Amino acid sequence: MQTLLSSQQIASMLDHALLHPTLTDDEVDAQIRSLTGHPLASFCVKPCHVRHCADLLRGSAIRVGTVVGFPHGVTTTATKTSEAHTAFADGAHEVDMVINTGKALGGLWEDVADDITAVLAVVREYNGLLKVIFETDFLPEDTTKIRLCALCSELGVDYVKTSTGFGFVKQTDGRSAYVGATDHDIRLMRRHCRPSIGVKPSGGVKTLDDVLRFYKLGATRFGTTSSHAILAAARERFDEEMPDDSAAPHGDRQLEY
């Protein structure tokens, strides 16, 4: 794995996430406009914002991404395929779908495979990309994650992804906690997926050091709400001149997950 040398290389692997349910239309608009000067991989927006995002990015190389079955993955396969059709019709280039975790934990692998296969067929119809979200916080056993890696490799999806950012787990004290992407899971996913399949950490990717660490472990896309801070740190570390529009928009709530 080569060493990253510029903020542009880092930007080209960032999926800037705008998925928090409380984000307003104006906030989404401001976030997109503030980052379009950077060569991001994509903006990953809520389904209701896909068409507007596509309009804003018309003529740009930045891709439009959205989510399917988000965040719990428990909608029917028919609903997921309908969501995917709508997303691409509205201008999306890629979708991040959530697996049905209960089916995976229950060992109903044919159901899990059918669910992914159906969405993948829609994605391929539109020449798009599919990222499959495992929601690793819900999967305590590595054997389940390894089986998912094998399944995704067999089906030929484009990326496997750790988390939604919303997979909170109830603890023994009654509180909910969330971990998100970990070094262990990125190593595991990279080791057990075919080389042609990318690995995307998401959930807790907040700093340049997070990006560089996961990159060295084999990740090539990064889901984050912290693109402004990551790119500013990259420019400072790599001694690059900061552009005038590099700061987060004024009043940005920076909803991290």
Q: Which amino acid is at 26?
A: D
Cα–Cα dist 40/36, whole Å: 8
Active site residue 26: no
- Integer-rounded Cα radius of gyration of the chain: 17
Q: Name the catalytic one among 96, 115, 158, 210.
A: 96
The closest of 6, 8, 13, 58 to 32, measured between CA atoms, is 58
- Two tokens at 21? 């349910």
Q: Name the catalytic one among 158, 161, 185, 210.
A: 161
Cα–Cα dist 195/1, whole Å: 13
Q: Name the catalytic one among 80, 103, 131, 200.
A: 200
Strand partners, 42: 15, 63
Active site residue 161: yes
Active site residue 239: no
Q: Which amino acid is at 158?
A: D
The closest of 101, 176, 172 to 136, measured between CA atoms, is 101
Residues with catalytic roles: 96, 161, 200
